[in-house]
Amino acid sequence: MSQLFSPYQLGSLTLANRIVIAPMCQYSAQDGCASDWHTIHLGHLALSGAGLLIIEATAVEPDGRISPFDLGLWSDETEAALGKALDSARRWSDMPIAIQLAHAGRKASLAQPWKGGGQLGLDQGGWTVEAPSEIGFETYPRPPRALTSDDIGRLIEAFADSARRAVRLGFAAIELHGAHGYLMHQFLSPFSNKREDEYGGSLENRTRFPLAVLDAVRAVVPAGYPVGFRVSGTDWVEGGWDIEQSIAFAQAAKARGADFIDMSGGGLSATQKVPLGPNYQVPLARAVKEATGIATMAVGLITEAEQAEAIIGTGEADFVALARGILYNPRWPWHAAAQLGATVKAPNQYLRSQPRQYSKLFA
């Protein structure tokens, strides 16, 4: 039996297989509200046969958006718009859908990637960004404002409020974005966090804000509801955030009720040196899983069915998370199931597409 297509119990959530669709920003919202694009985007991914779909980084306040076109969940209007897109997807698919809650910190106020992705000026629709310290991302000209203790309290409550809205919308799980150089990662890394209060300095202090967010979110979701973190296992820069600190953070998060860690890497420094190649970030997931026992998701140039099967079968991770690869091939789980002799769920309208040589592909 294929291990990739075996079920998994994550808290109170039962997943049909170990394939996760990772969060991927679409930069297509209007004032934080999901648009028709999200209806199309989520709809076709929900027909892919994956075990779980995690929607894109969703800002907990307007200033936390990466771009003015990011998705948000901070108001009744943003909640209603996202609910409309979810209703369309759920009408035709029972795939569990999770949400990634996020704040971009010093990497906010950017243009859409296809328009260059640079920091927007205040006269171009940009805004003053916030961060743990007054240290800007290396390639952006405008430095951030350092968060005060009151600001940090406000942001913790903003994450909790968005979590309440996520539960109301019926999301199956919540992933907190602590990776890719965004706000929680900025607190974790000694490169971006130079604070001299209880939120800076020691590892215990640098993890204080993300763990406080976890506590606040856990307090407003039902018992058994899965909550986890996406973490950059390393800054890919010597002297920065690294796998040893990631393991310590994962241990602390697990002790406070985190159900999973989605292990990625980088994004904090423009000087990062990333050793790109197949499975290049899988060792980060394996290290966290071996040290802590928490459920882990592996990412990083996982493109082939046999490759994903080996990751799960050898216990390197509990899930594989696909991003750009599943945009390129939205039926990747179908093709993987065919190669591995497994079955996958498909919509009734597509059952006739099953090739003769895979007559038992669709469950």
Active site residues: 182
Which residues on neighbouring strands pair with residue 10, listed in sequence order? 13
- Rounded to an integer, what distance in angstroms lies between the CA atom of residue 31 and that of residue 270? 29
Cα-based distances in Å from 46 to 43, 49, 96, 340:
5, 7, 9, 21
- Rounded to an integer, what distance in angstroms lies between the CA atom of residue 186 and that of residue 155? 14
> 3-state secondary structure string, 72-111?
ECCCHHHHHHHHHHHHHHHHHCCCCEEEEEECCHHHCCEC
* Three-class secondary structure of residue 262 per DSSP: strand
Cα-based distances in Å from 185 to 61, 106, 188, 226, 328:
17, 11, 5, 21, 28
| Cα 276 from chain centre | 20
H or E element: which one contains 150? helix 149-168
- Rounded to an integer, what distance in angstroms lies between the CA atom of residue 314 and that of residue 312? 6
DSSP letter, residue 247? H
CA proximity to 333, closest of 324, 345, 348: 345
